[in-house]
Amino acid sequence: MAMAALRREGRRLAPLISPQSITAVRSSLISQEQAPLGLRSISTQIVRNRMKSVKNIQKITKAMKMVAASKLRAIQVKAENSRGLWQPFTALLGDTASVDVKKNVIVTVSSDKGLCGGINSTSVKTSKALKKLTAGPEKETKYVVLGEKAKAQLVRDSKKDIELSITELQKNPLNYTQVSVLADDILKNVEYDALRIVFNKFQSVVSFLPTVATVLSPEAVEKEAESGGKLGELDSYEIEGGETKSEVLQNLGEFQFSCVLFNAVMENACSEQGARMSAMDSSSRNAGDMLDRLTLTYNRTRQASITTELIEIISGASALQG
């Protein structure tokens, strides 16, 4: 419509404008075109580039959401099956989170990649709070960090307390064999009375629960059994095979830690993919809202530019006619 109106105005004013006037107006327009881009041209170009960038970001976030959804379905089955490994140990040995020991090792489970909401920050905050609770005179608390994101946060103010750091855990598909080797390395390299594993337990795509699981050393288990309570029921079991009680507790402790760590890693990986799905869905919706606002701004700016140019042409023609 604007171009049709411009053509109509040109036909109407053509007989009234001399060739000299046309040459003068054309030269002035050419000088304006050869000048640097004007404000209106710059603004529309910037908005156009911004719209293109937002569209590309929206495509990326939608693709990441689909990838996270496919990974979540595969990991969720493994996470649910892994819960059956540590539950018998909880029934036998309990989960004595309030036990008071001298050497605590906090195993913080996190991810190697970001863009998954606040699950890594939650694990780090829980670990720091747990360190304060277990601190005291003649007590020692160290960190074992799984994942790059928790390491990057803890190294800022607790670098001297990090005993062991392991990254790229999820580079290959997770399985029990891989995690049991990892658990064996941790047990060989740290001294502990209690291992406290901090992870995010998967509940739903939009919900996860910060959880702490406790694994005691064989010496701590014997002390707790002697003091009574739930662990005192261990004496009611008969030991077969010629092994002593200490050897049985040693084997139980190692197997318990590998099972609990495997469940923690699977639950945290499941929570990571669920949080990434939620974060990418929010990002896609925000990109769509931003794209709508930019489209409206672009259309308004473009319409204002066309209207202004029409007014300038008509005004110039009127001035030449007068």
Q: What is the pLDDT of residues 130-153, one digit of tens each?
A: 999 988 888 899 999 999 999 999
In the chain, the largest separation of any two C-alpha atoms, in whole Å, equals 118
Q: pLDDT above 70 covers what percent of the chain?
A: 80
Question: Region 217-224: what's the mean pLDDT?
Answer: 81
Query: What integer pLDDT is reported at residue 231 of this predicted model?
Result: 59
Instruction: Kindly state the average pLDDT of the residues 15-40.
Output: 40
Has residue 280 got a pLDDT over 80? yes
The closest of 135, 193, 127 to 155, measured between CA atoms, is 127
Mean pLDDT of 60-66: 94
The answer to whether residue 297 sits within a structural domain is no
**Is the distance from CB of 112 to CB of 168 less than 8 angstroms?**
yes
Range of the domain at 124: 59-228+245-281
Classify residue 25: in a domain, yes or no.
no
Confidence tier at 86 by pLDDT (50, 70, 90) = confident
pTM of the model: 0.77
Residue-averaged pLDDT of the chain: 81
Using 50, 70 and 90 to split pLDDT, how confident is the model at 211? very high
pLDDT number for residue 46: 87
Residue 149 carries which DSSP code? H
| CB environment 187-226: b (16+ within 10 A), e (fewer) | beebebbbbbbbbbbbeebeebebbbbbbbbbebbbebbe
Task: Please give the structure tokens belonging to residue 309.
Answer: 């140019």
302 domain-assigned: no
> What number is the average pLDDT over the span 181-197?
92
* 272 pLDDT above the threshold of 90: yes
pLDDT tier, 28 (very low <50, low <70, confident <90, very high otherwise): very low
Q: Is residue 49 part of a domain?
A: no
Domain presence at residue 2? no
- Residue 106: CATH number of its domain: 3.40.1380.10
Q: Quick check: 107 pLDDT over 90?
A: yes
Distance, in Å, from the CA atom of 119 to the CA atom of 107, rounded to the nearest integer, reads 15
Q: Which pLDDT tens digit goes with each residue over 283-297?
A: 999 999 999 999 998
pLDDT at 24: 39
pLDDT(229) > 60: no
Domain count, the chain: 1
Where are any strands of DSSP class E within 56-185? 103-109, 140-146, 162-166
Query: Do the domain assignments include residue 71?
Result: yes
Cα separation, 106 vs 194, whole angstroms? 8
| Residue 21 maps to a domain | no
pLDDT, residue 246, reads 75
Of the pLDDT bands very low, low, confident and very high (cuts 50, 70, 90), residue 39 is: very low
Residue 181 lies in a domain: yes
**CA–CA gap between residue 140 and residue 119 (Å, rounded):** 26
pLDDT tier, 19 (very low <50, low <70, confident <90, very high otherwise) = very low
* Rg of the Cα atoms in the chain: 34
The pLDDT tens digits of the residues spanning 254-267 come to 888 999 999 999 99
pLDDT average, residue stretch 98-123: 91
**Higher pLDDT, residue 130 or 17:** 130
Strand residues in the chain grouped as ranges (E): 103-109, 140-146, 162-166, 194-204, 207-216
Q: What is the pLDDT of residue 183?
A: 93
